[in-house]
Structure 1
Amino acid sequence: MEVVEIRVTESVLEASSGNEAQIEYVPYGRLCRSPLNARKKAPTGIEALAGTIFGNGLMQNLVVHPVKGSRAKQPKLGVCAGQRRLAALDLLFSQGKITKDFKVPVLIVSEGEAVSASLIENRERETMSRTNVARSGC
């Protein structure tokens, strides 16, 4: 039996205005791994996740921050939360299933908020129990 992982990420508030940040869609080609991601071990289960994303779309946004020193008109965005999803997108790209223009939902945060977002996402993870998997209603 394959276990499906469901993750809930807390909203990250923009410190400067106090308003909740909005999800934006950016081309896959702008994304890269962030050195600010709290998770340091290599992601696992990428092939299965890539298949799910290819078949159903990306159901949860990535959290990104502008990368310093990026000289392009559109600066690179470092993924500080969503390393497995980025790895799955990388695999889909290498297989020719998506292009650099593939639109990816992201929440753009400041560099200062990036570490907090990464810690929140990784700290609040909870493995689903068999009881949770069996429930399908509210």
Structure 2
Amino acid sequence: MNYKSVIRLVCFIVLSGCVSPAKLIHVEASQPAANHTQSTGIKMYFGLSIPTGGEVTPQQWQQFESNQVANTFTGFSVADSVGYYKGKKEHAKVITIYNASAADIEAANQLGKQYAQLFNQDSVLVVLLDVAQIRFVTKE
């Protein structure tokens, strides 16, 4: 993959996670929801193709998710994704964490390194996001 392709891929991935403040959903509640402004988010892209051949199996991913990811972060979401790397289509898992601390960022980097070593990956993409606002809307 040449330099320009890498830049385009990173820009596409980063921009795909951006949300314009105009698209934020406003929710009325009898009590104000907990708001956090100017927080940091993390998106991690875990490729499922193994460069030397084969793929990370659903069972292997589930074990990694349950044992390493769930024991590392207080809360996160996981989404299936399809992207391209080195000109080839690749399935991936995307983990998103909001309201991340400095410890979470360091843990994300360590987790990426563990995954890369465990499944012989070239890399794991870790993207830091500037989040304008996070709102936890309660049932009240």
What is the TM-score of this pair, normalised by structure 1? 0.29
Q: Which has the higher strand share?
A: 2
